[in-house]
A and B are shown apart, each in its own frame.
Chain A
Amino acid sequence: MTASAPVLSLRGVRKVYPSSPAPVVAVDGVDLQVDAGEIVAVLGPNGAGKTTTLDMVLGLVLPTAGTVEVLGGSPEMAARGGRVSAVLQSGGLLRDLTVGETVLAVAALHRARSRVEAVMERAGIADLARRKVRSCSGGEQQRLRFALALLPDPQVLVLDEPTAGMDVGARRSFWETMHEETRDGRTVLFATHYLEEAQAFAPRTVLVDHGRILADGPTAQLRGIVGDRTVLATVPGAADGVLTRLRAVPGVREVHRAGDRVTVNGTSSDDVARLLLTELGGRDLEIAAPTLESAFLALTGEGQAR
């Protein structure tokens, strides 16, 4: 593969599902290029079109319009050949097989039986080989899916909300394992609705909602967009004068008041907090970290935000 050819290429991709009373537009004109070795997060709320987009990259779903190319060919051919593989969001396992049988069955189909032991070791399920899939925890099942995805030694790894349903500990250890896997230059595309996961793991983030790409760039830049913190405080007898002074603080984007409770959005949370506590007589101060919601707020404008 030459450096100039993108590993993934989506051009004008749309997916419309027939439905009554009106058809559902799951993906509404997505353009996306991913180069070899990139790690890209697809970040968005539930129903944003993340899974449908990834399914089209895997050849599981055909686009209604537009083209999808994986490694210079059709997604289906890349998936069959094991050059692209995936950790699917849910299901994808037979509950009455053991973990070892599941890995062996898929390995046999890929003609990759020599990789079984190494892959189970890497995914951390070597000691679960004899356990029935139905007796595995959500985290263990996810590790099994991860092992299945590693079997064909793929160039591109697609992960659809890989840590959904995991507790914090399992989530952390999953991403630690993933870090190991990306050292040898695999291209990774993963969907998530956790802003922290995109920040911790992906140098590039694609923000999607309503089937459209809202932003696509370095994750650090995204952090700048969503850098807004929210400062809340109770200011007894707060009047318009208080709001005016808060608005005057550089970096403040919005100020609201509901009774005595004042809400300030902006990047300068330290200055706002100092002003509130020392000069304006505020108390019960809270500072909230940026959230995915505030990112969408910043990108779509308050009027359209959900």
Chain B
Amino acid sequence: MNVTYLRIDLVRQLRDGMYISFVIALPVVMYLLFGTAFGASADVVGRGDTRFYVMSAMAAYGASVGATSIAASAAMELLQGWGRQLALTPLRPPAFVATKVVVALAVSAVGALAVTVVGAATGAHVSALWVWIVTFLVAWLGSSLFALYGLVVAQVFRSETAIGVASASLVVWAFFGNLFVPLSGTVQQIARWTPMYGYAGLVRWSQMQGHSVTSSQVDPLWLLVLNWVAWAAAFAVLATWANRRGRARQ
């Protein structure tokens, strides 16, 4: 990976003020709406309270949106023929993908951090400090999965609609990922196979240890990790393949 190239690409994204404020504001506003609606009572949930439960969900959602949309902006790069330019340099497709993942992680860190700070300020509670730290780190780093997802969608659609498609489809994955409404029964059985389920369960692990709010089912850690790893591998392979295909003129 080339550090200078990475820095230039990152600065380019952070210069886009409208976009950055959207990535920060969306999860924060959603936390304030859901968190105060469901978390008025100080219910004990796992190691913390309802507010923390909602906060970690929105941190995960915010980090994923940030990662996905940054990666999807790669669609515009390819549309503008930048992929052809890069093909005439020593930068190889895996290095291109890795660079984009790092840029997306930087942006998703901003999204997750904003929700965490607002959560702390509005009295979200858990029993220990390490739960805060682990929750943030898992939400942040785990969102790399959705940077890969954004790259795949971007390179399949190859137009500005890619960013919309990627963000909109993320709402569906977030629903199946148990981020908005607690799932149970058959829906939960299906949801286990979807890309955000493992990630969301891992973000909540330090608070919930695989337990659910509404159902008696307990997800073992290995299942959540396996879900994340399998989807990450699938998206990485697809993104690399699509990038290679994108080098031919359309």
Contact = CB atoms under 8 A, between A and B. Distances in A.
Contacts of B16: 96
Nearest to B4: A108
Interface in A69-106: 79-82, 85-86, 88, 90-97, 101, 104-106
Contact of A79 (B4, B11, B87, B248): B87
A50 to B, nearest CB: 12
B36 interface: no
Contact of B84 (A91, A96, A108, A111): A91
Given A60-B247, A60-B249, A80 B80 contact: no
A86 B80 contact: no
Given A58-B88, A79-B88, A97 B12 contact: yes
B216 to A, nearest CB: 51
Nearest to B9: A105
Interface string B63-89: 000000000000001011110111111
Interface in A49-74: 51-52, 55, 58-61
Given A90-B81, A93-B85, A105 B8 contact: yes
A148 interface: yes
B247 A88 contact: no
A60 B4 CA distance: 25
Nearest to B82: A94
A274 interface: no
Nearest to A62: B248
Contacts of A130: none
B186 interface: no
B12 A88 contact: no
A88 B248 CA distance: 12
Interface string B87-100: 11111100000000
Given A60-B87, A81-B90, A109 B82 contact: no
Given A51-B249, A60-B247, A92 B8 contact: no
Contacts of B15: 96
A298 to B, nearest CB: 31
Given A61-B248, A91-B80, A97 B87 contact: no
Nearest to A158: B88
A53 to B, nearest CB: 12
Which interface class (under 10, 10 to 19, 20 to 34, 35 or more) fits B? 20 to 34
The interface centre, meaning the residue of A60, A93, A95, A109 with most chain B CB atoms within 10 A of its CB, is A109
Contacts of A91: 79-82, 84
B2 A109 contact: yes
B88 to A, nearest CB: 5
Interface residues of A, number: 32
Contacts of A105: 4-5, 8-9
A92 B2 contact: no
Contacts of A55: 248-249
A101 B6 CA distance: 12
Contacts of B2: 108-109
A80 B249 CA distance: 18
A110 interface: yes
Given A79-B88, A96-B12, A60 B81 contact: no
B84 A80 contact: no
Contacts of B11: 101
Nearest to A80: B90
B71 to A, nearest CB: 15
The interface centre, meaning the residue of A80, A86, A101, A108 with most chain B CB atoms within 10 A of its CB, is A108
A148 B82 CA distance: 12
B5 A92 contact: no
A1 to B, nearest CB: 20
Contacts of A60: 84, 87-88, 247-249
B90 A93 contact: no
Contacts of A51: 249
A116 to B, nearest CB: 11
A86 B81 CA distance: 13
The interface centre, meaning the residue of B79, B84, B89 with most chain A CB atoms within 10 A of its CB, is B89
Nearest to B95: A109
A95 B80 contact: yes
Interface of B: 2-5, 8-9, 11-12, 15-16, 77, 79-82, 84-92, 247-249
Given A80-B90, A91-B82, 19 more contacts: A52-B249, A55-B248, A59-B87, A60-B249, A80-B89, A81-B90, A82-B88, A82-B89, A82-B90, A92-B84, A101-B11, A105-B8, A105-B9, A106-B89, A108-B3, A108-B5, A108-B8, A109-B86, A111-B90
14 contacts: A58-B87, A58-B88, A60-B88, A82-B88, A88-B84, A91-B84, A92-B81, A92-B84, A94-B82, A97-B12, A105-B9, A106-B89, A110-B89, A148-B85
Interface of A: 51-52, 55, 58-61, 79-82, 85-86, 88, 90-97, 101, 104-106, 108-111, 113, 148
A-B pairs, top 5 by smallest CB distance, nearest first, are: A91-B81, A108-B4, A109-B89, A92-B85, A92-B81
